Amino acid sequence: MRAPSTIVSDMLTPIPSPYLVPFDGTFRVADAPTAPPLDGAAAQSVAKETSKKGLQKELKRLRELQRVLYAGDHHAILCVFQAMDAAGKDGTIRAVLSGVDPAGCQVMSFKKPSAEDLDHDFLWRTARVLPERGRIGIFNRSYYEEVLVVRVHPELLEGQKIPALPPAKEVWRGRYTSIRDHEAHLARNGVVVLKFWLNVSKDEQARRFLDRLDEPTSNWKFETGDLRERQHWDKYMHAYEAMLNETSRECAPWYAIPADDKHYMRWQVARVLRKTLEGLGLVYPEPEPGEIREFAQYRAQLRAELGLE
């Protein structure tokens, strides 16, 4: 098959979105919306139906684009999800990938680093499971934990076996540089990096924690550690703001998606992914002239076997 004709660039222009984190370091968490741009109960009811219909429309198109991506086998898509607990990462990933061919996608979740992870650099455990060409890869949390939870709890650095551990500020600066270089390398090699921060408010997080405690079938989702981390909310917001400003770049943009309304959040994530795939100019591979002539022979052979000649 002849290689598909696609847009060849190591710097795909990010799709326009009100939630695109700027590349100039001016992003402020305090100014970022956590809810859809609608007020009032009636407006919210309309917005819920609009979001549901919008998501289904995006999913239909995503299914088509994912097939072409898989057939073309030239680009890989990496979607990174980061958020505070109960923001809705799992549900969003399930919703956005619903209906997509399982052979063309993979989801990786990253918890506390293992002993093997700690025997390598902080990018190792994610680099070894990057999506192959033609596939959509999802990171549910990622290497960004190393500038989030570790920044909020710098004592974790002591267990990371880093020789001649520098001051914490130098550690974060170095890790931002490593991440930017890593993502630029991926972009130059055909991996489209999309990063989503699901921006849930502190009050909404509390409501969702209560739902987990009150609903027996959701009790398993609640962990006491969630409340401990909630006490560090301001530190986390500071860490997120620094991370977003330091690592949102044209080759690997961040999108700060409002997460207080799960339906709206899922719709907006699917919309960014769909528009990004469309921007790649994906087409199915074309047969070589010699293959087309062989197709005629194969067609005649199969028709003869079926008695259609």
User: What whole-number distance in Å separates Cα of residue 222 and Cα of residue 210?
Assistant: 9
Task: Kindly tell me if the per-residue pLDDT of 44 is higher than 80.
Answer: no
CATH code at 110? 3.40.50.300
The SS3 assignment for 201 reads coil
> Residue 130 is encoded by which pair of tokens?
């990057």
Cβ-proximal residues to 187 (8 Å cutoff; 6+ apart), any chain? 10, 11, 12, 193, 251, 252
| Tally of structural domains, the chain | 1
17 in a structural domain: no
**How would residue 5 be classed by pLDDT, with cut points 50, 70 and 90?**
very low
**Residue 244 φ/ψ, nearest 5 degrees:** -65, -45
CA distances (Å), 72 to each of 18, 133, 193, 238, in order? 31, 9, 18, 41
19 in a structural domain: no
257 in a structural domain: yes
**Residue 43 φ/ψ, nearest 5 degrees:** -65, -40
Question: Which of 74, 309, 47, 280 is CA-nearest to residue 190?
Answer: 74
Tell me: the pLDDT tens digits for 26-43?
A: 999 999 999 998 765 555
15 in a structural domain: no
Predicted TM-score (pTM) of the model is 0.93
Tell me: the pLDDT tens digits for 203-236?
A: 999 999 999 999 999 999 998 888 999 999 999 9
**How would residue 7 be classed by pLDDT, with cut points 50, 70 and 90?**
very low
Q: What is the mean pLDDT of residues 79-87?
A: 97
**How would residue 99 be classed by pLDDT, with cut points 50, 70 and 90?**
confident
Q: What is the mean pLDDT of residues 240-248?
A: 98
Domain containing residue 146:
29-305
Question: Which of 285, 241, 267, 223 is CA-nearest to residue 95?
Answer: 267
- Go through the chain and tell me how many residues it has: 309
